[in-house]
Amino acid sequence: MDTLLLTASDVRRLATLSDAVEAVQHAFDAHGRAAVQMPAKVYLDVPGVGDFRAMPAAMEGAAGLKWVNSHPDNPAKHGLPSVMGMYVLSDPETALPVAVMDATLLTALRTGAAAAVATRHLARPGARTLGIVGAGVQSEFLIEAHQVLGDWEIVVADRSPDAAARVAKAYGGRVGTVQEASACDVVCTATPSRTPVVQAGWVVDGAHVNAMGADAEGKQELEEALLHRASVFWDDAVQASHSGEVNVPLHHGSFTEDDVVATLGEVVCGAHAGRPSPTAVTVFDSTGLAVQDLALAARIVQAAKAAGVGRSFDFRA
């Protein structure tokens, strides 16, 4: 059996955020039912530069591994994306690699989709304003994934006025302060900050917050008081306690795992009701799950085979 090679342009041609949202929803459902194998991601630090991460996962009919990095200074220093990745999708029965594919776009797609799935299940009905805190590349995928759910009035905030203006113009939104973006019905934070940027008092009753930026030890985007005020849901207990939005207060002992309501997967699969009331504030602590990558990679490979996209090769030759 040959292996399919999919480049970044192949993935861009095949993948849609609508497909990504449905694939990630399926991944959360399987995770909530404990129908996946997903060891915690492994970090390989490069001091002063960034880190690498190995993310294996298996679910019915598929197994795979993503090798991905986070090098924040790459764009300025090397003209490269801060996040790049490669995915190997394998046949669980034979162990042969089904596909080797670019995972840079895949990572951005599934991250945006994860926020949209959280919003679908945790935001209050009628939510229509979307605040984006952090106008980097990921912000565009967050907006587009939410547009799969419906139309939004968008407010974009960033420490760079030019970055905020570019994103706001591209999606028909407006530039606002972090306080204004934090006062929307749904708030998505996508920064690499190690100091809270969203204050508890800025978030309105009934809001939902997707905390997407904290994905490594020491990162923190939300004022801790917001976590105590909110119903907190995380994607995975092991990962989030180590590297999610809650990792810093957990380390300090001012927040405990018992303060977390449930995983998002438990909400998606129906094991937990989710939002407790229309006026409650909900927070989704996202670290990024390997099973999300797996579900989306499998869907992209299926689409590639149907469309005749990619190049086949025998890696054993």
Report pLDDT digits (tens) over 114-140: 999 999 999 999 999 999 999 998 999
268-277 average pLDDT score: 98
pLDDT exceeds cutoff 90 at 317? no
Domain ranges of the chain: 3-106+291-313, 113-289
CB 157 within 8 A of CB 176: yes
- The strand pair at 62-70 and 153-157 is best described as unpaired
Task: Tell me how far apart the alpha carbons of residues 66 and 288 are, in angstroms, rounded to a whole number.
Answer: 12
Higher pLDDT, residue 297 or 217: 297
Across 82-101, b (16+ Cβ under 10 Å) vs e yields: bbbbebbbbeeeeeebbbbb
Report pLDDT digits (tens) over 233-247: 999 999 999 999 999
Catalytic residue among 41, 66, 77, 305: 66
The CATH code of domain 113-289 reads 3.40.50.720
pLDDT exceeds cutoff 90 at 315? no
pLDDT exceeds cutoff 90 at 201? yes
Q: Residue 311 — φ and ψ, nearest 5°?
A: -125, 125
pLDDT given for residue 113 in this prediction: 98
pLDDT exceeds cutoff 90 at 216? no
Mean pLDDT computed over every residue of the chain: 96
pLDDT exceeds cutoff 90 at 259? yes
CATH topology identical between 3-106+291-313 and 113-289: no
Sign, Cα dihedral of 164, 280, 268, 236: positive
Report pLDDT digits (tens) over 145-182: 999 999 999 999 999 999 999 999 999 999 999 999 99
Radius of gyration, CA atoms only, the chain: 19
Residue 41 annotated to the active site: no
pLDDT given for residue 37 in this prediction: 97
Tell me the fold of 3-106+291-313.
ornithine cyclodeaminase, domain 1 (3.30.1780)
Provide the token pair at 256: 């405990």
Task: Tell me how far apart the alpha carbons of residues 268 and 120 are, in angstroms, rounded to a whole number.
Answer: 9
pTM attached to this predicted model: 0.94
